[in-house]
Structure formats: C-alpha cells, structure tokens
Chains A and B, each alone.
Chain A
C-alpha cells in the first residue's frame, strides 16, 4: 500500500467490518504511520455517541421547524405598510434624533458640573441614598483590604473554566500542563460535576504519558462516585491494571467492561485480553482482583 495515499476504501470496509485479514494488516501498517487516518478512526469511534439519538431530539426538531416557519411566514414591515404605520415610524425616528441631539448638547455641561464640585477637605464624600455616585469624581482611597482568602477566592477560576483550560491544553498537545490543570480542578473543586469527568480524562492522559499507577487512581476516583459508569473509564482502569502487571485484577476489570457494556467497541479487545490472560499464570504481585 502506498503510504502517501489514504486508504479510504479499506477504512470504509474496516468500519463496516468486512475487511480481510491481509487488508487489515495493510491498514494497521498505514495507521501506525498516518496520524490523519488515526484521527479519522478515533473520530469514527466517537461519532456514534455524538450522533446517537437523544431523548430531546423530537422536541428539538419540532421547535426548530416552528421557529423556521415563524420566520418564513412573518409579514415583513406589517405595521409600516399602512399610511398610519408609516407616519408612526417617521415620528419615532424624529423623536430619537431630537433626543440624541439634546443629549449631546446637554451632557458636557452636566459633566463639567460634576467634576468641578470639590469635596471639603477631611470630609468623606457620602453618597446620597438612592442616587448613584458620579463616576467621574476621583475615586476615594480604597477601604481597608478585605481578607486575603476572600480576595484569592474571587480571583480563582471556576470549575468550568479550569476544565475548559485542561481540554484546550490537551488540544494543543500540552499533555503535562493538561494533567496539571485537571489536578488543580480536582483539588479546588472536589465536588463539582466537571471534576468527575476530569478524573476520567486525567486518567487517560496519564496512561498516554506512561504513568499507569496515578492513572489507575484517577479511574478509580471516577468509578467510585455514584452515577452512570463510563465505558471509557472502565476500559482505562483495565488497561492501567494490565500495564501494572496485575493480571487477576485486569481480568476482573475486562469482565466488568463486558458485563456492563456488551456492545462496546472495546468488547473485541476485552475478549482478546481475557484470552491472553487465561493462558498466562496468575501474577504474584497481584494480591486480589479488586480496584
């Protein structure tokens, strides 16, 4: 296969499950060298979830059609078609023009009066209740500073911002910085919803970086919380256990993947790993098949 060309036909057949063994070997060789086709395969694996029908789709469609119909069949300038409407339009425009001119003429004189009002020395400029302080008067000295902790809390980015930063850093290929952002999010906002997702994402990044032990801790944190159990996190945990050489725990983790997500795209890989593990003697370093 020419590696300069992208094997679209092979990719199509691979995605429909009709690729022969020899063709698969050729395709795997190409995928090992072509990051664009790897991205294609990675996207194809996730696109199923992205395009899956959602419970709110019917309502979304209906609403979009209704809104489109409203725009398409809205009478244009309905009020202005009649002579009365036209006069009303002219009157409103005239009023706006007069208002604008009056504002431009009066504003500078009013501004100068505000600025020229001196505050008696030694007297605090108390605002009149119910009236906003004029902004152009020089700001008084700031009040004694508020507690530092309160100020630092105010300057802290929110959980959503930190999560978005981590995603953006990952997108830029800065894996270590992305991991640091995830860890910061987890430290600052341990109960936020973003943090739960952060455990799964940080786990994957740590696996990519070749640190299975902290990755396992992240996946376990994700799976320990109540809620839906993510397929990706289960697979990540099994992979991390495999890299740590904990065969019995890895087998249990792969079995859990198959139990919870029998139709998973990782099912074939899980079965393959289970078959391989069954052939190997149990590892002495794995005390118990647990998390």
Chain B
C-alpha cells in the first residue's frame, strides 16, 4: 500500500501567519476586526481567506461552480459571527468551522448529475490550459464520495468525516474545529465511518476497488 507522505493539515501555512503588508497573527487581527474598521476587517479577511478557500474546496471540489460564492458567504458569516467568538480556539479553526458548514450546505443543494455536468463544463471549458487532467479525474472521483457522505451521514458525522478525509485533519484538529471534546470527535468519526462502511458495502464497493491500482 503506497500512501502519500506529505500529510495535509488544514491550518498549514495559515496559523499565526501575518498577512501581506501587515503584522501580527490572526488572533490579533480578529480582535482588531471587532472594531468594524473596514481596513482592519479587510486585513483579517486577507489572513483568513486561504483557510476558508481550502475548506470550501476540500468539500466542494476545486472547480465547483459555486465555490466563489461559498468562499464569499463564509467570509461574510465569519465577520458577522466575530462578536460571538470567544477566542478560545485557534482563529483558523473557527474560520474553518464556518466555511465547512457553508460548503456542506452548498453540497446539499447539488443534484448529482447536474453538479457533475456543471463541474465538468466549468473545469474543461474555462481552465483547459492550467489544469492537469489527472487533477480533474481526482476531483471528479472525490466528488461522489463527498456527496455520499453529505447525503447519508448525520451532520456531526459529516463534519468529522469530511475534515478527516478531505482536509487531512487529525482527531485533535477535528475536535478543535467543531468545538467538542476529543472523545466526542473520535466517536463521531467512528460512527460516521461505520455508517459510511455500510453504505459503501451496500453499493458493492470493496477495499480493492477503492485503493490505488495494484
């Protein structure tokens, strides 16, 4: 079994990173943005957008037609919910939690075939030169699994499984992002995987069919 050695972390390159042209970490920027000064809000958004983009893209695919809207909607929700944020968890995790919920809601709106069709049109027609065909194949292949998770699992299980599978989060990161104790995150992930296992088996999938080609 060959496995990728570069484990992806949602907050890689984002946590405590100062945005271009500014100083201070995301927590400081978030505190400053509470004052609703447009310039400070913009600097906070500049810092938090890569996390939001990665989260939305992880759940929706990199060429989903509503990706831009989901990122924008997440950013607006993040700023509007900022007064309720208690600065207990990592700011990038707080942003990821909101973006995850927006992206899941977008995926729920999709209809399987319509979505695949739009996805392909968008990918193939608008960005033919810059996208590796293997990337498109990988994206389309991930898409059916994301859809199955969103449609068949409970909300809490969906969040845990998507964060684990498509954003490379550890159990600790899932706990921090979803704001629950580690044991609860573990249980959600386990029950989510159990249910996913039953769904996949019911559809005739085997481990050989899902693994790398051997």
Name A residues whose Cβ lies closer than 8 Å to a Cβ of B.
5-6, 8, 12, 14-17, 24, 27-28, 31-52, 54-57, 60-61, 63-65, 67-69, 71-73, 160-161, 163-165, 167-168, 170-173, 193-194, 196-197, 200-201, 204, 207-208, 227-228, 230-233, 235-236, 239, 265-269
Known A160-B124, A201-B137, A227-B133; 7 more pairs at CB < 8 Å: A34-B197, A36-B196, A41-B211, A64-B75, A72-B76, A160-B117, A204-B213
Contact present for A35 and B201 (CB under 8 Å): yes
- Residue B34 CB within 8 A of the other chain: no
What residues on B are CB-neighbors of A232 within 8 Å? 134, 137-138, 213
Q: Which residue of A lies closest to B124 (CB)?
A: A193
- Cβ < 8 Å to A, chain B residues 130-182: 130-145, 147-148, 164-168, 170-171
A63: contacting residue among B4, B54, B68, CB under 8 A: B68
Q: Which residue of A lies closest to B197 (CB)?
A: A36
Contact present for A41 and B1 (CB under 8 Å): yes
What class of interface size applies to chain B in its complex with A?
35 or more
Interface window among B23-31, B55-63, B86-94: B55-63
Q: Which residue of B lies closest to A166 (CB)?
A: B116
A228: contacting residue among B53, B116, B132, CB under 8 A: B132
Question: With A and B bound together, what is the CA distance between A236 and B134 in angstroms?
Answer: 12
Question: With A and B bound together, what is the CA distance between A208 and B143 in angstroms?
Answer: 19
Contact present for A45 and B120 (CB under 8 Å): no
Question: With A and B bound together, what is the CA distance between A9 and B79 in angstroms?
Answer: 35
| 21 contacts across the A-B interface (CB closer than 8 A) | A8-B164, A35-B201, A35-B207, A36-B194, A37-B193, A41-B3, A45-B212, A47-B165, A49-B132, A49-B138, A51-B167, A52-B135, A61-B53, A61-B71, A64-B71, A68-B45, A164-B113, A167-B116, A200-B134, A265-B3, A269-B214
Question: With A and B bound together, what is the CA distance between A270 and B7 in angstroms?
Answer: 21
B207: contacting residue among A33, A48, A194, A204, CB under 8 A: A33
Q: Which residue of A lies closest to B133 (CB)?
A: A230
Contact present for B2 and A36 (CB under 8 Å): no
Q: Which residue of B lies closest to A34 (CB)?
A: B197
What residues on B are CB-neighbors of A67 within 8 Å? 72
Name B residues whose Cβ lies closer than 8 Å to a Cβ of A.
1-8, 38, 41-42, 45-46, 49-50, 52-54, 57-58, 61-62, 67-68, 71-72, 75-76, 79-80, 112-113, 116-117, 120-121, 124, 127-128, 130-145, 147-148, 164-168, 170-171, 186, 189-190, 193-194, 196-197, 200-201, 203-214
Contact present for B38 and A69 (CB under 8 Å): yes
Contact present for A42 and B212 (CB under 8 Å): yes
Q: Which residue of B lies closest to A172 (CB)?
A: B203
Contact present for A168 and B116 (CB under 8 Å): yes
**Centre residue among B80, B136, B170, B212 by max chain A CB count within 10 A:** B212
Q: How far is the CB of A215 from chain B (nearest CB, A)?
A: 10
Contact present for B168 and A47 (CB under 8 Å): yes
A64: contacting residue among B72, B113, B130, CB under 8 A: B72
Contact present for B137 and A200 (CB under 8 Å): yes
Question: With A and B bound together, what is the CA distance between A232 and B137 in angstroms?
Answer: 9
Contact present for B71 and A60 (CB under 8 Å): yes
Q: How far is the CB of A222 from chain B (nearest CB, A)?
A: 8
Contact present for B142 and A266 (CB under 8 Å): no
Question: With A and B bound together, what is the CA distance between A49 and B167 in angstroms?
Answer: 12
Supposing A72-B41, A167-B144 touch, asked if A40 and B164 sit within 8 A by C-beta, the answer is yes
Q: How far is the CB of A250 from chain B (nearest CB, A)?
A: 13
What residues on A are CB-neighbors of B62 within 8 Å? 50-51, 54
Supposing A65-B42, A170-B144, A265-B212 touch, asked if A196 and B133 sit within 8 A by C-beta, the answer is yes
Supposing A12-B170, A230-B132 touch, asked if A68 and B117 sit within 8 A by C-beta, the answer is no
Question: With A and B bound together, what is the CA distance between A61 and B203 in angstroms?
Answer: 38
Question: With A and B bound together, what is the CA distance between A92 and B79 in angstroms?
Answer: 34
B58: contacting residue among A39, A50, A61, A165, CB under 8 A: A50
What residues on A are CB-neighbors of B128 within 8 Å? 193
What residues on B are CB-neighbors of A227 within 8 Å? 133
Q: Which residue of A lies closest to B46 (CB)?
A: A65
What residues on A are CB-neighbors of B67 within 8 Å? 60
Return the 7 tightest CB-CB contacts between A and B, nearest first: A171-B144, A36-B197, A38-B207, A17-B5, A68-B75, A164-B116, A230-B134
What residues on B are CB-neighbors of A201 within 8 Å? 137
Q: How far is the CB of B79 from chain A (nearest CB, A)?
A: 6
